[in-house]
Amino acid sequence: MTDNIKMIEEKLFSYLPEKELLEKSLIDSMKYSLKAGGKRVRPNLALEFCKLCNKPAEKAVPFGCAIEMIHTYSLIHDDLPCMDDDDLRRGKPSNHKIFGEDIALLAGDALQSLAFEVLSCEDTIRLTSAQACIKAVNTLSKYCGAVGMVGGQVIDLENEEKKAPIEVLQIMDIKKTGGLIKAACEMGCIAAEADEEKINAAGIYGEYIGIAFQIVDDILDVTSSSGELGKPVGSDINNKKSTYVSLLGIDKCIELVNELTDKAINALSVFEGDTKPLKDFAVKLANRRN
């Protein structure tokens, strides 16, 4: 999927203003977090599902960029003192440690707005279609909003210092972590103007690997180091949060990750194309160390 990342990286920063503006600090803050690295999991998935639906990956690039902007805004806000209060992200100081809490907050807001500008601009409509862009806007709005990613963050905040049951964790993670991953998978199919059966199957794949992704995060939070992860470890314990590890133990968590990964792979059976890259990707995410 190296080619996917290259296409995303080349296009992603072109959406930011290049000329000097009075609000330069805001643009610099947005660019800082967009350039902070990361695995580009979500845009990768959008491009791969577009290819799986027999359309060029290029058609999904604006969709992938929009998803990455939403993801980046969520990370900026997550790190703020009023949220998770983390000083490190991807091995670098969190946005608010460089630009201040006020600019970091506004950079997240601006990235969210920019994502929907990208999805609905004339260039994106010409590349895909007006109908695909409308459906993409609706899909991303749903999965990142009050009953999606933002709602999941609220559930997370309200369950700090509580013994939340596993059912609450699952709902939270389907929304907070799984929402954008599910959106990415579905939007790849939408860019290719695939039928509803394929869009739904992509969503199922995304939901399963999204939950697995979060469980792996919980495992790494207690087994890894800040150097390996590029962010503080042990924050869940420090915030007295219930996690899959605290409720189930590491061995059971590993077993659950493998089960979810198998279910995600099985969801790909409705596609006629080469599903190996997405199968391999699911396994890679399950076995990641950072």
Kindly write down the DSSP assignment for every residue of 228-289, as one continuous string.
Answer: HHSS-SSHHHHTT---HHHHH-HHHHHHHHHHHHHHHHHGGGG--S--HHHHHHHHHHHT--
Cα separation values, 174 from 148, 170, 203, Å:
8, 6, 11
Res 236: pLDDT: 60
Task: Provide the Cα torsion 38, 43, 45, 49; round to 10°.
Answer: -160
Res 163: pLDDT: 83
**For residue 186, what are its two tokens?**
């579905």
Which residue is associated with the tokens 């099985």?
266
Phi then psi for residue 160, to 5 deg, are: -65, 140
Quick one: which of 110, 77, 277, 275 has its CA closest to 176? 77
Res 178: pLDDT: 93
Dist CA 13 CA 32 (whole Å): 11
Residue 34 has pLDDT above 60, yes or no: yes
Question: What pTM was estimated for this model as a whole?
Answer: 0.92
Average pLDDT value for residue range 178-185: 96
Residue 160 banded pLDDT, cuts 50, 70, 90 = confident
Average pLDDT value for residue range 27-40: 91
> 222, 233 in Cβ contact below 8 A?
yes
Q: Where are the domains of the chain?
A: 2-286
Say yes or no: domain 2-286 is CATH 1.20.1340.10: no
Query: For residue 88, what are the β-bridge partners?
Result: 93
Res 90: pLDDT: 83
> 276, 247 in Cβ contact below 8 A?
no
Tens-digit pLDDT profile for residues 90-137: 889 999 999 999 999 999 999 999 999 999 999 999 999 999 999 999
Res 235: pLDDT: 60
Quick one: which of 176, 173, 164, 141 has its CA closest to 248? 164
Phi then psi for residue 121, to 5 deg, are: -75, 165
Res 37: pLDDT: 74
Res 229: pLDDT: 56
Secondary structure of residue 19 in the 3-state scheme: coil
Residue 232 has pLDDT above 70, yes or no: no
Res 2: pLDDT: 78
> 9, 246 in Cβ contact below 8 A?
no
Query: For residue 89, what are the β-bridge partners?
Result: 92
- Quote the mean pLDDT of the chain: 92
Res 152: pLDDT: 95
Average pLDDT value for residue range 74-86: 94
Share of the chain above pLDDT 90, in %: 77
Res 138: pLDDT: 98
Q: What is the DSSP letter of 121?
A: S
Distance of CA 105 to the CA centre of its chain: 19
Res 239: pLDDT: 58
**How wide is the angle at C-alpha 13 spanned by C-alphas 281 and 147, nearest 5°?**
60
Residue 46 has pLDDT above 70, yes or no: yes
